[in-house]
Structure formats: C-alpha cells, structure tokens
Amino acid sequence: MKAFQVRAPFEFGLAQVDMPQVAPGEVKVDVAYAGICGSDMHIIHGQNAFVRFPRVTGHEFSGVVREVGEGVESLKVGDRVCIDPVISCGTCYPCRINRPNVCTQLQVIGVHRDGGFSEQVCVPAENAHRLPDSMSLSHAALVEPYTIALNVLDRMQPHPGDSLLIYGAGVIGLTLVQMARALGMTDITVTDVLDTRLEAARALGASRTLNGKDVDVEATMRELTQGEGVPLIVDAACIPALMPQMVRLASPAGRIGLLGFNTVPSDLVQLEMIKKELTLVGSRLNNRKFPKVIELIASGKLQVRELISHRISFDEMPSAIDLIESHPEQTRKVLVELNGALQ
C-alpha cells in the first residue's frame, strides 16, 4: 500500500510499505482525509527528538473501519471515525491523575508509531471516535487541531467576560479564535506578522488584530486595557523571545497558555510573575477532548471549512510540503485526500 514516509531528515516521499496487521484491541482504518500539520514539518526537518526513522507521519486523520481486532466491541466494520493520536499507559503518575496526554510512556500516532498518511493504519480501538452522521470525513480529519485549542483554553480556566490575546494566527491560532468564540469569549485580539493570516483571524471572529511589524503590540494592549493587562494570553507563535512580553502584558491573576516545543531559553523576570501571581500553563496535545470537539463541529459552532486552504490528492503531497515551506502566507490547513476519499 501507499504511504508518505519520512526516511531521514529532509528525505521524504510516497513509498510502498507493507499492509499493517490488526492486533488485538485495535482497528484497521481505511484513511479518507489527513491534515498536514506544523509538527509534520518539524519531523521532516529532524526537529522532533521522539521520532525514529523511517516514519509514516500524520496525526490528524479520519477514515472508515475496515477490520476489527480481537476483543473490540465498541466499533464495527464500516464505522466512520476520526482518531485521537494520544496513546497512554494508564498506570503512570500522570495517567493516574487523569493527565494521560503527558503519560511517561506516551505514544503519539504519526510520531512514535506510524500514522495517517497511509492508505491503511491500525490504531487502538479506544482512539477511534465514531462520527455523527451529519459530520463529513473531511471535517473529521481536523478535529485534532481543535483539540489543541480546547486543551490549552481549558487549562487556562477562563472566567466569563475575560479578554484573550493570541500570539500567532497560524492554524493553531485560528483554531483558538474559533474555539474561544464557541466557548463564549467575545474580546479576542490576535497578533501576527503576516497580514493574510490576520485577515483570516478577523474573518473567523477575532475582534481586533495587530500586525507586530506595524504596531507596538505591548504599548497598544496596555493602552487598550487601560494599563490593567490581559487576563488570558495564548502563545501560538511559540517564539521564546516573546514570552517576557507576555508576562509583562498579563493582568494580575492572569493565565498564560504555552504551546511551544522550542529548546531556546526565555528571560523571564520573577518579580513580574510573582507580584501578579501569574499562572503559566503548558499544554501538550489533548486530554480526551475529542468528544467535545466532535460535538462542537457537528452542531456547527466551529467553521472548519474556513481553516482549509488546499485540498490535494495523496500523490500531490510531496509538492504540497514544498509549498508549505516556501509560501506559509498562502497556506492554512492543507488537507490530503486518500483512497479517493473512499469514492
């Protein structure tokens, strides 16, 4: 069968690989759609320390169950599903306190084991979520990026009426805008350095956008909040040098959600954090957020279509990778169709 394989950093392409064998407790899925994510690009660049090569990537995907392994009762052949990529052990400390997304034995589908850029893939049955009839397989492939947004916002414990500042209007920033709206937030500012991305943020519900190349974001936000600062700040730009500004801009009792995987240190000032009693929360992947996001999409509360900039066939995937690299301003979510999306 055909799969998109990263053989080594910067060495990637479509390859013929062996059909996977379904193990007890797993289901085999015919993949319909899979989204290309920034994390896939990091794997291609050799910047993900967890990956062993060769690897079939892809952690945002949907499909149809083709085969069920021994002992699987929750799903049957023909069920339409999307896949939560988080596999946890269930017994380590984070698992015991219901934080399985930071399991000490964490396995991420498409990172630690082969993923969705493949005509077929086997996944634990409990990771496959059945879709409501009203939800398309193409939208189902994008549940995962929305779970990133929901996870970080939940970790930040928003209060009614809180204003939100989002750094970065890439796909994650845009899912954050939509998720914040769906959760009832109305005062949402987004900052980026690309006008095309800020336009998308406004179209999806940002109440204000600031291009960091044109305006002094810190001074503007300080003025807009009459010096009080912002209660909720999310870093979806993930540039370590921006963190001190976020700490300065946070209001007393503010919460800052951090998503970056960068290894470069940031210069944070203790006094700023302690005098305002700030909460800095990391957020990784998602903690069982699939059911809620599926419900939000099925009820029309998230505008999935607006997130997608390109729909391509599986054969076009290598050239789409080049496009994402060379023209980030032209791309949002690139959605790959596999198996002719099952005809």
Which residues bind to ligand NAD, rule: CB under 6 A? 38-39, 148, 167-173, 191-194, 197, 212, 236-239, 242, 259-261, 283-285
Distance CA(139)–CA(175), nearest Å, equals 13
What are the tokens at 23?
A: 């193990």
Stretch 297-326 residues interacting with Zn ion (CB under 5 A): none
Query: Minimum distance from CB of 178 to ligand NAD (Å)?
Result: 13
Are the C-beta atoms of residues 339 and 37 closer than 8 Å to each other? no
Residues 12-51 vs Zn ion: string with x where CB under 5 A? -------------------------x-x------------
Site membership for Zn ion, residue 57 (CB under 5 A): no
Which residue number, 5 or 48, has a Cβ lying nearer to Zn ion?
48
Q: Which does 172 bind (CB under 5 to 8 A by kind): Zn ion, ligand NAD, none?
A: ligand NAD
Which of 154, 131, 158 lies closest to 304, judged by CA? Answer: 131
Query: What are 232's strand-pairing partners?
Result: 164, 255
Question: What residues have CB less than 8 Å from 233, skipping those under 6 apart?
Answer: 164, 165, 166, 167, 246, 249, 250, 254, 255, 256, 257
Among 5, 57, 62, 88, binds Zn ion (CB under 5 A): 88
Q: Which does 179 bind (CB under 5 to 8 A by kind): ligand NAD, Zn ion, none?
A: none
Q: Which does 82 bind (CB under 5 to 8 A by kind): Zn ion, ligand NAD, none?
A: none
Are the C-beta atoms of residues 233 and 249 closer than 8 Å to each other? yes
Q: Which does 255 bind (CB under 5 to 8 A by kind): ligand NAD, Zn ion, none?
A: none
> How many CA atoms lie within 13 Å of 119's alpha carbon, on the beta-carbon side?
12
Stretch 95-124 residues interacting with Zn ion (CB under 5 A): 95, 103
Q: Which does 118 bind (CB under 5 to 8 A by kind): Zn ion, ligand NAD, none?
A: none
Instruction: Please provide residue 128's backbone torsions phi and psi, each rounded to the nearest 5 degrees.
Output: -95, 120
Which residue number, 125 or 166, has a Cβ lying nearer to ligand NAD?
166
Query: What are 67's strand-pairing partners?
Result: 28
Are the C-beta atoms of residues 247 and 167 closer than 8 Å to each other? no
Which residues would be at the binding site for Zn ion (CB under 5 A)?
Answer: 37, 39, 88-89, 92, 95, 103
